[in-house]
Structure 1
Amino acid sequence: MADILTLVFRKFMSQPGLKKSSAADPPPPTDCGSTLLVGDHSISRSVMLLAAVTAASDLGVRVMFFTQTPIQSLPVSLQTCVPSLNPESLKKIKFSYPRTVEELLQQVASLHESMSPLPPSLIVVDRLETFLCAPGRHPGEQSCAAHLSALLCDTAAFFTEVLQQQSSSSAPCRVLVSFQSDSGPVGGLSSATDPVLDVLDRYFQVRCSLDQDRGYDAAAAGLQELWHVYLSGTGVTDDKDCEDRLGVAQEWQLSVFPSGLLEFRPV
C-alpha cells in the first residue's frame, strides 16, 4: 500500500525537477499491502480519498471504501487537486457506510460474494477509532482491533491470489486504514503509547503518520496548514536499494493552501 501512497505524493508533488508519477508510470506491484494512516481525521480523510481516487483513476483498479460518515461530495481539496476527474473512474470506487464494528466485520467478511468481475484492489477503512470506541461499548477495543485487522489482511491476501490467478495487472490487493490515536502525535519513529495502536502496528506493514507543524513556517509561507508525513515500518523501501533499506522511515511535507490545494514535498 505504501506504493499507492507514494504515487499520491509524487502525483501532487510541489518540488520542481522531480519526476511525477502518472497513469503511464504506476508503482510496481509489491507485497507490502497494508498501511495504517495515523493522524487527525480532517487531513487523513483527504489523503484517504486522494489514494482511493488515484488508485481508481491512474491505476484503473476497483476500490472498496468503508466509512461511518456518508460522503455526499468530494472535498474541496480533492476537487482542487484533481480538476479533471473522469466520472467513469469514480464509478470504480464503492462506498459503504456500516454503523457499528459488527456491521463492518460482516461486510468485510462478505466482500468475496460480490467481487464480479474482479475483486477490489484497494480496501479502505476510514476512521477505525469510530468503530472501535463507539459509545456504550465495553472495554475490548484491543481484541476487536486485532480481529478486524486480521480479517482485513486475510481478505486482501485472498483477493490477491484471485487477481493473480486471473493474470490481472490489478494485483495485489492492498489495505489502507486510518486511525486517530488518543495519545497525541505519534509521528516519526517515536514509540506508541496507545494500546490499540500497538495492536494495529502488529498487522500493518507500513505506518503513515501525519503530524501538524504548529510553528510559524506555515503562516510565513502563506499556508493554511503544514503537516509532516512519516512513512515507517517493515513495508517501507527505498526505490534505490529496496533490499537494504527495509524499515527506514521516509518523510514528506504536506502543504495545505487556503484555496484547498494539497502539495507534497519530499524531505
Structure 2
Amino acid sequence: MADVLTFLFRSLVSQTGATNDYKVIPPSPAARSTLVVGDGSMSRSLLLLSAVSAASDMDMKVFFFTQTQIQKLPAPLHNCENRSPEGLKKIKFCYPRTVHELLQQVSSLQEPANMSPTAPSLIIVDGLEGYLRGAGDSSHTRSQSGELSCAAHVSSLLWDTAAFFTQVLEQRAPSLAPCRVIASFQPEVDTGQTSGEPSSPDPILDVLDRYFQVCCTLERDRSYGAVAAGLQEEVWHINLSAIREDSGPEAAVDTQSAGAQEWELLIFPDGLMEFKVV
C-alpha cells in the first residue's frame, strides 16, 4: 500500500535531518494494492523494510510470502535498538515454493481454523516473477497463456483476500483498516528486439496492472552524469504513481487520480539507505 511505502521513505529521509515530517498520507479507500516493479534484490530489500516499518511503527500484522529464505536483513535494519521486539513478532514469514503453494497458502488465510484475533493489515508477496514464469506447464516449457492465467488468478486471490480482511478489520480494529497488498515483480528483459527498436512490455506486467492500483518503479541511475560524478554510492530513482483508483479489477485506469511521488534513493557502500524527495 502506498501509505506504508511513503511512511518508510519519509522515516529514512528523517534520519538524515532533511525533514521532520513523520505524517503518513491517509490511504484512499480504494487504493489498497501496490506493485513494486524493478530489480529483484532491490525490491526485496524495500519489501522487508516495509514489513518491519508496518509492524513495528504502524502496529500492523504482516504476512510476508517469498520463495527463498531470508538470509540477511537490509543494512538499515541491522541496528534495531529503536524497534520493539514485540512489533517484529507481528511479521509472519511464509515460504511457498510454487505458484500452487502460494495460492493454497493465501487462500487458507481465510479459513476459520487459521483466523487469529488480529487480522493482517498488510500482505506482501516477494518476487511474483519467480512464481509465474513457466506457470501452468508441468513440462517446464514456457506457456505464455498459462503464465497470464496464473498472474490473473494470483492477483484476483490477493484482491479478494485483502477485501475479506478489510471487512474483518473494519469490525475489529477500524484504525488498522484497510488490508493492504504489496507485491514485487521484475519484468523480463526483451532481448528479441533489434538495435534501436523499442522493447515490448512484459505481457505478465500488463495483466498485473489490471489488479494493482499503485505502481512503484525502481530504476538505477546509470546515466553519464552519475558515472562522471564518481559517486561511490548507488543512485536509484523511485516513482510512486496511481494506476487506477476505482475498487475493482475491471475499473478504468485513472493516472490523474493521485499525483505521482518521485524519490531518489542513495545506497552507500556500507548498505545504509537515504531517501530524498525529488
TM exceeds 0.5? yes
Q: CA deviation at 1:192?
A: 6.7
Q: 1:123–1:138: structure 2 CA closer, same or farther, 3 Å change rule?
A: same
Q: Structure 1 residue 77: deviation in Å?
A: 4.1
Paired residue type of 1:262: M
1:57 aligns with 2:68: no
Aligned to 1:68: 67
Match 1:174 to one of 168, 172, 180: 180
What is the deviation of 1:191? 9.8
Q: CA deviation at 1:34?
A: 0.2
User: How many Å separate the matches in 1 of 2:53 and 2:76?
Assistant: 14
2:275 to 260, 264, 267: 264
Aligned equivalent of 1:224, options 229, 233, 243 = 233
Query: Which amino acid in 1 is paired with 2:174?
Result: S
What is the letter of the counterpart of residue 19 of structure 1?
N
Q: Distance in 2 between matches of 1:61 and 1:84?
A: 17
In the TM superposition, 1:13-92 aligns within 5 A as 13=13, 16-21=17-22, 25-31=23-29, 32-79=31-78, 82-92=80-90
> How far does the alpha carbon of each residue in 1:210-246 deviate from its partner, in whole angstroms, 9 at most, with x for none?
000013426737443110001122458xxxxxxx951
Instruction: State the structure with more CA Rg.
Output: 2
What's the CA shift for 1:260? 1.0
The one-letter amino acid of 1:144's match is: C
Measured in 1, the distance between the counterparts of 2:24 and 2:82 equals 19
Number of aligned residue pairs: give it.
Answer: 251
For structure 2, list consecutive stretches of 5 or more residues without a partner in the other structure.
191-197, 246-254
2:87 partner SS: helix
Gaps of 5+ in 1: 185-189, 237-243
Q: Report the TM-score, using the length of structure 1 for normalisation.
A: 0.86
SS for the counterpart of 1:112 is coil
**TM-fit CA distance, 1:16:** 4.5
Q: Kindly state the Cα deviation for residue 163 of structure 1 after the two structures are TM-superposed.
A: 0.4
- Relative to 1, partners in 2 of residues 1:218 and 1:155: Cα closer, same or farther, differing over 3 Å? farther
Which shifted more, 202-211 or 249-258? 249-258
Q: Which moved more, 1:92-101 or 1:109-118?
A: 109-118
TM-score (norm 2): 0.82
Write the distance in 2 (CA, Å) between the matches of 1:137 and 1:57: 43
Q: Percent identity?
A: 55
Which segment drifts farther, 133-142 or 157-166?
133-142
Q: Distance in 2 between matches of 1:223 and 1:12?
A: 19
Give runs of aligned pairs for residues 146-225 of structure 1, distance below 5 A: 146-183=152-189, 193-215=201-223, 216-217=225-226, 220=229, 222-225=231-234
Structure 2 counterpart of 1:94: 92
Residue of structure 2 equivalent to 1:254: 265
SS of the counterpart of 1:13?
helix
Amino acid at match of 2:96: P
Greater Cα shift, 245-254 or 97-106 = 245-254
Q: Name the CA distance, whole Å, in 2 between partners of 1:247 and 1:28.
A: 12
Counterpart Cα distance in 2 of 1:3 and 1:206: 11
